[in-house]
Amino acid sequence: MKNIDSYTHTRGESIYVDDLPILGGTLFAAIFDAPIAHGKITKLDVTKAKQLAGVKYIITHRDIPGENQIGGIFPDEPALADGEVHFRGQPIALILATTKEAAHKALKAIVFEVEELPIIVDPREAAAKGEIIGSVRTFRLGDVEQAWKDCVYIYEGRADCNGQEHLYIEGQGAYAFPVENDCIRIVSSTQGPTQVQRGIARVLGVPMHKVEVDVRRLGGGFGGKEDQATPFAVLAALGAYLSKKPVKLVLDREEDMRMTGKRHPYSADFKIGLDRNFKIMAYEADYYQNAGAAADLSPAVLERTLFHATNAYFVPNTRLSATSCRTNLPPNTAFRGFGGPQGKFIIESAITMAAEALNIDRAIIQKANLLKDGDEFSYGQIVENCEAEKTWNQAEQDYKIEQIRERVAAFNATNQYLKKGVALMPICFGISFTNTPMNHARALVHIYQDGSVGVSTGAVEMGQGVNTKMVQVAAQTFGINPDRIKLETTNTTRVANTSPTAASAGADLNGRALQIACKAIRLRLKAFVQKEFNLESIDAVNLQDEWVYVDGEKTDWTWEDLILNAFGARIQLSEKGHYATPRVKFDKTTEKGHPFAYHVYGTAITEVTVDCIRGTYEFDAVHIVHDFGQSMNKIIDKGQVEGGLVQGMGWLTMEDLRYNKEGRLLSAALSTYKVPDVFSVPKEINIKFLDTNHSNLAIMKSKAVGEPPLMYGIGAHFAITDAIKAFNPKAIGLFEAPMTHERVLMALYRK
């Protein structure tokens, strides 16, 4: 089934926040944000700005009727700065004017003075100065101290990976409308409608029922709108509440890049120990996460780094300690993989270091340590239905790894200034919010008298195709055509208390809730048919292909007849469903439990050619065997693997996020921040569906696919370093990402 959005997308008819028709009286908002990364505000004078043409209101923290607080996990982030600023781009004041241009013009007329305070941009420096968010988290398994004694080979090193700009196509934005009795209705580009609702209620000092949040779709989120859509929605709502006018706030690209947080940069020290057969006996790591100036989601991201610190490998003895470090950068946030990619990059670096020292292929160590059923993760969950070896072996066989290696060796033997490299990258990613209470969802279904269906869930469509999957769930449960079903907007008055659409769990959680609702109506309809047809058993009734069947025979009732008759007989044609993931639990005091409903596996083989004169590279191919479970939509799921892969490759190759020592973002525009384009994607991407048929907690056995494939991109780093080594054997220990052309060139000619 095609993505239900493809029709309007390809015609440019899909509606985003910035496309909403403008209501009369609308005021346009601009944010006055901190021009320095740390300081005490000594003067904030808006009188001149207020007198400019078109300017109606200038709002500061003093005007906030409720709590000046938007922090989610910790209350450490004001909606508008009060007294101090902690990062460049922090909102200080909100200007409302009759045009967007007038609002932006007035920014320059605000008089702002500040007493500068010391700026920290490096996480290790922050940790050394005690600037820590929450507490240090440590996961342990086995006995590392004892294990070191049994290791034949031990290596210690350091790995660093940088942040990443989300670069959703649609920038952050919201359009807020005042409603009678101090209520607000708001359209927000958010992954978390309830987060927005709660944030607005808190800052306005009103109960949540006074705030209605509506989301049609997002032009991409990638985690960047899990929590960070909230501050902008809050400001728009605050403006609407105070001015009693509709207020629209949509960030320009540059504002968005400057003001919002990104993927967390990490720096880590590791120690890895192997036995004679290259089995990893022990692994220790200390992670320093660059959280930025406030907690945001950093503690949760930090936790997922620990969950995925040993990737798809079994390590019997581990000590993993992670510190979230407060710096003067915009608060970093969720980004596809949610800390998992960083954890995986670091253990892949450790494995590479061992392979380089032992002068063997990394794949030998990787393969010798793949997870198996019955193994234990450091967090206590036991491995079940493991596909790590299956995807690895199938990738080796189907893509003929021996031939690839021979081809590469032959090429490298005959080419002096072009060198090829290969890397394998297995993945293992846990599905569920690691914060157990977030793992539930609701849906609401109406069948109208004419047999058409309206479906609301808590899931937010952001390009990943969740709405199409929801249509498939309803169509299959009712036995009707998908075009009878309409996916309504995600709205807090229809589906309340939603978890954000995140953790790749959107389709599982909301799909299951929807299935429960549809099944309840289906059961009522079948009972009605049983009564009308005087049947002994309800099991004789089936709804299929838009018809009512009895004992396998078509009756003269179509779906439409059934619905009309049922309505006439006063049968309830609406239903809600609630689903909570069974089994999941996690105890933070012991750091043990069963946090994930299941894991997703896969293996990628990356082939690259490096130009050893220029330091440039091209990816010849990426070959993947991915564990989709039983995919319910192969087109969408394949698209998720391709998109995730390329986004992950971008993170570790060309996306060069740079802040200077003053905390200013230097790569603040698309002229200086390069993301993969059609010329830099692999020339060939092959994706095979692993054939499995386990029962699992996925929706219709179709496993979550949103985030895991991003981590195939890590293979890009190690394929490049493999090629570099073919040119310059001294270029080892390259564990600093991203592998930009400059960095590659330096390594090629390292002495």
Q: Could you list the active site residues?
A: 707
Pattern of binders to ligand MTE over 632-651, x per CB under 6 A?
A: --------x--x--------
Residue 180's SS3 state is: coil
Binding window for ligand MTE (CB under 6 A); candidates: 98-106, 239-247, 450-458, 496-504: 496-504
Exposure of 231 in the CB half-sphere (CA atoms within 13 A): 31
Pattern of binders to ligand HPA over 302-321, x per CB under 6 A?
A: --x-----------------
Alpha helices in 581-713 (DSSP H): 634-652
Size of the site for ligand MTE (CB under 6 A): 21
User: Which tokens is 579 given?
Assistant: 């689903």
| 77 near ligand MTE (CB under 6 A) | no
| 555 near ligand HPA (CB under 6 A) | no
| 219 near ligand MTE (CB under 6 A) | no
Decide if 368 contacts 331 (C-beta within 8 A). no
Residue 24's SS3 state is: coil
Nearer to ligand MOS, 419 or 626 (CB): 626
CB of 35 to ligand MOS, least distance (A): 30
| 221 near ligand MTE (CB under 6 A) | yes
Binding residue (CB under 6 A) for ligand MTE from 505, 521, 723, 724: 505
| 463 near ligand MTE (CB under 6 A) | yes
What are the start-end ranges of the E strands in 46-180? 55-59, 84-85, 91-97, 111-116, 132-141, 153-161, 173-179
| 222 near ligand MTE (CB under 6 A) | yes
> b/e map of 576-604 (b: 16 or more CB within 10 Å)?
bbebebeebebeeeebbbbbbbbbbbbbb
Sign (positive or negative) of CA dihedral 16, 19, 24, 30: positive
Nearer to ligand MTE, 609 or 633 (CB): 633
Binding residue (CB under 6 A) for ligand MTE from 341, 506, 676, 715: 506
Q: How many CB atoms lie within 10 A of CB 360?
A: 12
| 501 near ligand MTE (CB under 6 A) | yes
Tell me which residues in 419-458 interact with ligand HPA (CB under 6 A).
Answer: 433-435, 438
User: From ligand MOS, ligand HPA, ligand MTE, none, which one binds at residue 433 (CB under 5 to 8 Å depending on kind)?
Assistant: ligand HPA
Q: How far apart are CA 435 and CA 715, in angstroms?
A: 29
**Which string of DSSP letters, residue by residue, matches 519-588?**
HHHHHHHHHHHHHHTT-S-GGGEEEETTEEEETTEEEEEEHHHHHHHHHHTT---EEEEEEE-SS-EEET
Nearer to ligand HPA, 175 or 335 (CB): 335
CB of 145 to ligand MOS, least distance (A): 35
Sign (positive or negative) of CA dihedral 120, 123, 127, 133: positive
Residues at the contact surface with ligand MOS, assessed by CB under 6 A:
191, 223, 226, 334-336, 338, 502-503, 707
Q: Residue 614: which residues within 8 A CB-CB, separation 6 or more?
A: 741, 745
Decide if 701 contacts 711 (C-beta within 8 A). no
Binding residue (CB under 6 A) for ligand HPA from 81, 334, 444, 697: 334
| 274 near ligand HPA (CB under 6 A) | no
Phi, psi of 460 (to 5 degrees): -110, 130
Tell me which residues in 207-246 interact with ligand HPA (CB under 6 A).
Answer: 226
Nearer to ligand HPA, 298 or 477 (CB): 298
| 443 near ligand MTE (CB under 6 A) | no
Q: How far apart are CA 306 and CA 293, in angstroms?
A: 22
Phi, psi of 128 (to 5 degrees): -65, -30
**Which string of DSSP letters, residue by residue, matches 314-356?**
--SEEEEEEEEEE-SSPPP---TTTTHHHHHHHHHHHHHHHHH
Tell me which residues in 678-707 interact with ligand MTE (CB under 6 A).
Answer: 704, 706-707
Nearer to ligand HPA, 226 or 722 (CB): 226
User: Which tokens is 186 given?
Assistant: 């708001």
Binding window for ligand MTE (CB under 6 A); candidates: 40-48, 143-151, 218-226, 665-673: 218-226
| 300 near ligand HPA (CB under 6 A) | yes
The residues facing 313 across adjacent strands are 370
Q: How many CB atoms lie within 10 A of CB 725?
A: 17
Q: How far apart are CA 228 and CA 459, in angstroms?
A: 17
| 338 near ligand HPA (CB under 6 A) | yes
Q: How far apart are CA 499 and CA 279, in angstroms?
A: 40
Decide if 460 contacts 467 (C-beta within 8 A). no
Sign (positive or negative) of CA dihedral 392, 394, 398, 400: positive
CB of 670 to ligand MOS, least distance (A): 22
Phi, psi of 87 (to 5 degrees): -155, 150
| 457 near ligand MTE (CB under 6 A) | no
Binding window for ligand MTE (CB under 6 A); candidates: 52-60, 73-81, 193-201, 500-508: 500-508
User: From ligand HPA, ligand MOS, ligand MTE, none, which one binds at residue 435 (CB under 5 to 8 Å depending on kind)?
Assistant: ligand HPA
| 379 near ligand HPA (CB under 6 A) | no
Decide if 210 contacts 201 (C-beta within 8 A). yes
Q: How far apart are CA 81 and CA 85, in angstroms?
A: 6
CB of 503 to ligand MOS, least distance (A): 5
Nearer to ligand MTE, 313 or 651 (CB): 651
Separation in Å, CA 698 to CA 354, 452, 510: 37, 27, 11
Q: How far apart are CA 666 and CA 724, in angstroms?
A: 28
Nearer to ligand HPA, 334 or 690 (CB): 334
Q: Which residue is nearest to ligand HPA (CB)?
A: 503
User: Which tokens is 151 given?
Assistant: 């290791």
Binding residue (CB under 6 A) for ligand MTE from 464, 467, 542, 696: 464
User: From ligand HPA, ligand MOS, ligand MTE, none, which one binds at residue 464 (CB under 5 to 8 Å depending on kind)?
Assistant: ligand MTE
| 265 near ligand MTE (CB under 6 A) | no
Pattern of binders to ligand MTE over 320-339, x per CB under 6 A?
A: ----------------x---
Give the binding site for ligand MTE (CB under 6 A).
220-223, 336, 462-464, 466, 501-507, 640, 643, 704, 706-707
Give the binding site for ligand HPA (CB under 6 A).
226, 297, 300, 304, 334, 338, 433-435, 438, 502-503
